Amino acid sequence: MREFLRTKGFKMTPQRELIFKSFFAMGKHVSVDELYDKVRQQDSSIGYSTVWRNLKLICKVGLAEEVNLGDGVTRYDRATETPHGHFYCIDCRKLTEFGMDNIVGQLAIISRENDFVPSGFKIEIQGRCRACRDKRAGEKTTAESAEAQRA
Amino acid sequence: MREFLRTKGFKMTPQRELIFKSFFAMGKHVSVDELYDKVRQQDSSIGYSTVWRNLKLICKVGLAEEVNLGDGVTRYDRATETPHGHFYCIDCRKLTEFGMDNIVGQLAIISRENDFVPSGFKIEIQGRCRACRDKRAGEKTTAESAEAQRA
DNA sequence: TCGAAATTGAAAATCGTTTTCAATTGGCCG
DNA sequence: CGGCCAATTGAAAACGATTTTCAATTTCGA
Ligand SMILES: [Mn+2]
Ligand SMILES: [Mn+2]
Ligand SMILES: [Zn+2]
Ligand SMILES: [Zn+2]
């Protein structure tokens, strides 16, 4: 890692090392805050901006990319060998992944047909995960059928 | 329109009427600022928050939906009969649309296979549009081949 | 017409992101 | 080894789009 960064003109520091390690140790779709908290457990002197900057760096060198779901927080997703799409539960906001190898071909075709040179594909499927559907079903029978405020 | 809103429990006002009219008269993917400017040309007394609130309302009643591209501004896209995806040019940030009827079937299948009940699909293809590619080509030959700063 | 509920506009509050700046550190060079 | 310069860090402030607050006004059904 140190070497990898050096070739790109970046230096290694204790903070950076801890941040990188922690990021890759955590699950996918990590927010700055989440990583900040995590890192703080090891070294409470690390600043927020350092975490943020290194997350940006991780993206810049191609090891991750930002995921934006319109809910106000940017999440960082480790780069994967094969592209994947996201299921975004509109209730619990959990992200789940799925492969999209079969679809990528079609997206490439569509791009070509539209004289567009693609560099990346994003597929997001919104809906409800099993857990939230079950929870809803339970609540609906129990509670009144009045207006359920739009989640 | 007035009637449509009334049935949903909303009132009509001069401001609202102008905002709705203007929104649907403008092209797709309108931001609050853009609509605000547009509306102001007709009635310079309308407040920013009123425009914002009505844009939200338009979404709430299903006539449009927010589009988030991670560039900091939320855009509002008129609801279309058939779902469509977006080409997002990483140079000029222009959005172009494409139909995705053929792909929706597959996304539905993928969802079912993953025990996820979908309510919406989003496909975003990032890359470069023809205009920006041509522009780049021109610049590259003219200028030096030094490090092109990552756009 | 009356009044409750919705709407409006200005201003302020939010809040995640990004920048600033002085101090510190990493690592290449001699 | 030192020394030096660019990179990095941390705290704090700046940003900026979004959202809320609140008093005043308006809508529309009873
Ligand atoms: Mn992912
Ligand atoms: Mn669109
Ligand atoms: Zn869920
Ligand atoms: Zn372009």
Please write the tens of the pLDDT for every residue from B35-67.
Answer: 999 999 999 999 999 999 999 999 999 999 999
Nucleotide nearest to A66 (CA to C1'): C17
Amino acid identity of B120? G
> Stretch B81-105: mean pLDDT, rounded?
87
What pTM, to 2 d.p., does this model score?
A: 0.84
A150 touches chain B (CB under 8 A): yes
Instruction: Specify the range with the lowest mean pLDDT, choosing from A10-14, A66-70, B146-150.
Output: B146-150
Residue length, chain A? 151
Question: What class does CATH assign to B1-79?
Answer: mainly alpha
- E-only strand ranges, A4-150: 30-31, 64-68, 74-78, 84-89, 95-99, 117-128
Subset of residues 26-85 in chain B with CB less than 7 angstroms from any atom in strand D: 31-33, 48-49, 52-53, 56, 72-74
Give the pLDDT of residue B140.
63
Q: Are B12 and B57 in contact (CB under 8 A)?
A: no
The contacts of residue B13 (CB under 8 Å, 6+ apart) are none
Counting ligands in written order, which one lies closest to the CA of residue A136?
3
The pLDDT confidence band at residue B73, using thresholds 50, 70 and 90, is very high
pLDDT confidence tier of residue A119, bands split at 50, 70 and 90: confident
Q: What is the pLDDT of residues A71-92, one digit of tens each?
A: 899 999 999 888 899 998 887 7
Q: Do domains A1-79 and A80-151 have the same CATH topology?
A: no
Report which DSSP code applies to A67: E
Domain ranges of chain B: 1-79, 80-151
pLDDT tens string A1-52: 889 999 999 999 999 999 999 999 998 899 999 999 999 999 999 999 999 9
Domain formed by A80-151, architecture:
2-Layer Sandwich (3.30)
Span B119-123, average pLDDT: 88
